Amino acid sequence: MPPLSSSNSNYKDIGLSKKLQENEQQLKAIFDRSTDIIFRHITIHEKRNKKEILLVFTDGLVNTSELNDSIIKPLNHFSVSKEDSKHIQEITIDNVTNIVNSNEIASVSTLDEIIQAVLSGDTIMIIEGYNTALKLNSKGWASRAIEEPTVESVVRGSRGGFTENIRNNTAMIRRKIKDPSLKIQELTIGTKTNTFVAVVYMEDIVDKELLKNIINKLTGIKIDGIFESGYIEQILEQNHFSPFPQMQITERPDKACGNLIEGRVVIIIDGAPQVLIIPTTFNQLFQSPEDYNERVLFGSLIRILRYAGFLIATSLPSIYVAFISFHVQMLPTNLIVDLSKTRAQVPFPPVVEAILMEITIELLREASARLPGTIGQTIGIVGAIVIGEAAVRANIASPTMVIVVAITALGSYVLPHYSTSYALRTIRFPMIVMAATFGAFGIIITWTWLIIHLCSLSSFGYPFLAPFAPINMGLFRDAIFRLPLEKLKKAPNRKS
């Protein structure tokens, strides 16, 4: 897989010399004090003379048994065996490919390409007397087995998730879409990390303008290192300060493939299992592959539940604060009596109570994410129950507040797209403050600002709030409820 662009510009135009000795010295100077770069000499005894071959590879990145069996063994065998040397008199760069068993052989001539190849796990073979070298595929390193993604688990659907190895990930996509128009273009991004990035799309469905735009932006990235898809997301996104993500992230191959078939572009980065899906719209943050695996009625109802969860997670604490502080007359009389009994014992105004409880929940959330395994879960449960109880007993919070906070937390977890929960938490706090200052009017104004912000957001030129604004009937078939699959057959025309 030759990378489209490499950033190791120091060695870009330096080639090899015909003398093996000089090549070896040059490479040893570059890889000085890297003891994991191995230089293996092989001397071939040909009919008339000896020939020196140098193999350069990185220990730990190569599959040593394959290297030994397929590359070193045939070369050694050639020296010894009389039959082989009958057909081939002299090892040249052309016929060594007939001796060596490797499934991918390419020729490289610049130092730049050789360094990239060695650092990626290929083996470089330099033959005395030639100024081009051969790159043999021998990649193999320890990697994680395919597991279910932790934050995107489904009840019905495949349990495999992407891994850190880009080749495994592209293979998982190929397994789901067996179509030659599925194109996988690779780039190298990052001047120091030289990370492989794959741009995956369906040639006949994708929007060509969008694709050109994405590839231009990617090749124009000048940054030291790319470690995860988030780096690319932050470079490509249009609005850095919006709480909402402008691209989707997923670890599930079925979600990635579903989006590919609808004409979107998937970007896979070597080294992290999360892939990017471009472009995205607001309603996609509420979609999960399960909606399509289940039947129409449940797919639609659960999706409506998710929208309700979104509304609850953003607004419920603010509604509580607004009602208790400003509009007590809105509540039924019985409720007011009970509420006033419990609230009378709390010394703080409702807004302080709300913010205290919310901050506690946020701390709990972060703590349980950082702590290992079972301790984290225990803290989560214990913390929630014990702290809630204790807070009520100590008259720091009223029981209604605890219920409100608990339902809010649940509401924010129904979203299938994990990054959106950050958006919810970010929006919730200003809304509580606005509700405390201006009551229901504050909530109205905050929602207005939110909607205006969402209206002006766009993901790579595609309006973020489609299909709600601009109303696009094609996308509506899949927005709040999901129409039967026969009606969803064609990829919707997303441009508006």
Partner 1 sequence: MYRKYANGEITALQSYIIIISIMIGTGILGLSRVVSDIAQQDAWISVLLNGIFISIIMAVIIHTVRKYPEDNFLQYISYLLSKPIAYLVTIAYIIYATLATATIIRFLLEMIRTWLLETTPMAILSLILVLTAVYMVKNGLTIVARFNEVLFFYLIVFILLILVALPETQLINLRPVGGSGIKSIIKGAIPSFYAFGGYEVILVYYTYISDKNTKILKYSVLSVLSVTLFYTITVASQIALFGPDELSRVLYPSMNYLRAVDFPVFERMELFFTVFWSFTVIGTMGLQFFSGCLLSQIVFKTKKAATFAYIYAPIIFMLTLYPKNTPHLVELSSYIGYMNIFFGLILPLLLFIMSLIRGGKGSNEKSV
Q: Which two tokens stand for residue 383?
A: 């913390």
CB of 286 to partner 1, least distance (A): 16
CB of 330 to partner 1, least distance (A): 5
- Let me know: does 154 contact 129? Beta carbons within 8 Å: no
- Let me know: does 469 contact 463? Beta carbons within 8 Å: yes
Q: What are the DSSP calls for 45-63, one per residue?
A: E-SSSEEEEEEEEETTTB-
Q: For 101, list phi and psi in degrees, rounded to 5.
A: -100, 100
Binding mask 323-342 for partner 1 (x = CB under 8 A): ---xx-xxxxx---------
Using CB under 8 A as the binding rule, whether residue 407 contacts partner 1 is answered as no
**DSSP class of residue 320?**
H
Indicate the residue among 252 and 494 with the shorter CB distance to partner 1: 494
H/E run at residue 193? none
Contacts with partner 1 by CB under 8 A: the residue count is 31
Indicate the residue among 39 and 449 with the shorter CB distance to partner 1: 449
Task: Using only the alpha carbons of the chain, give its radius of gyration.
Answer: 30
Using CB under 8 A as the binding rule, whether residue 470 contacts partner 1 is answered as yes
CB of 452 to partner 1, least distance (A): 5
CB of 480 to partner 1, least distance (A): 10
Q: Which two tokens stand for residue 224?
A: 């030291």
Indicate the residue among 403 and 485 with the shorter CB distance to partner 1: 403
Q: At what angle do helices 111-120 and 20-30 cross, to 10 degrees?
A: 60
Preceding amide of 347 cis, omega within 30: no
Residue 287 exposed, middle or buried by CB count within 10 Å (0-12, 13-18, 19+): buried
Using CB under 8 A as the binding rule, whether residue 455 contacts partner 1 is answered as yes
Using CB under 8 A as the binding rule, whether residue 231 contacts partner 1 is answered as no
Using CB under 8 A as the binding rule, whether residue 344 contacts partner 1 is answered as no
- Rounded distance, CA 188 to CA 405, Å? 46
By C-alpha distance, which of 238, 251, 235, 173 is closest to 419?
251
Q: Which of 456, 484, 485, 487 binds partner 1 (CB under 8 A)?
A: 456
- Rounded distance, CA 470 to CA 306, Å? 22
- Rounded distance, CA 247 to CA 259, Å? 12
Q: How many CB atoms are closer than 10 A to CB 34? A: 12
Using CB under 8 A as the binding rule, whether residue 403 contacts partner 1 is answered as no
Indicate the residue among 315 and 368 with the shorter CB distance to partner 1: 315
Using CB under 8 A as the binding rule, whether residue 304 contacts partner 1 is answered as no
- Rounded distance, CA 166 to CA 163, Å? 8
Q: Which listed range, 18-26, 79-87, 152-160, 447-455, lies at the site for partner 1 (CB under 8 A)?
A: 447-455
Q: Which of 171, 363, 382, 452 binds partner 1 (CB under 8 A)?
A: 452
Indicate the residue among 1 and 469 with the shorter CB distance to partner 1: 469
CB of 318 to partner 1, least distance (A): 13
- Rounded distance, CA 327 to CA 371, Å? 42
Q: Which listed range, 338-346, 362-370, 386-394, 444-452, lies at the site for partner 1 (CB under 8 A)?
A: 444-452
CB of 482 to partner 1, least distance (A): 18
CB of 471 to partner 1, least distance (A): 6
Using CB under 8 A as the binding rule, whether residue 465 contacts partner 1 is answered as yes
- Residues at the site binding partner 1, with contacts judged by CB under 8 A: 326-327, 329-333, 438-441, 443-445, 447-449, 451-452, 455-456, 458, 461-463, 465, 468-471, 496
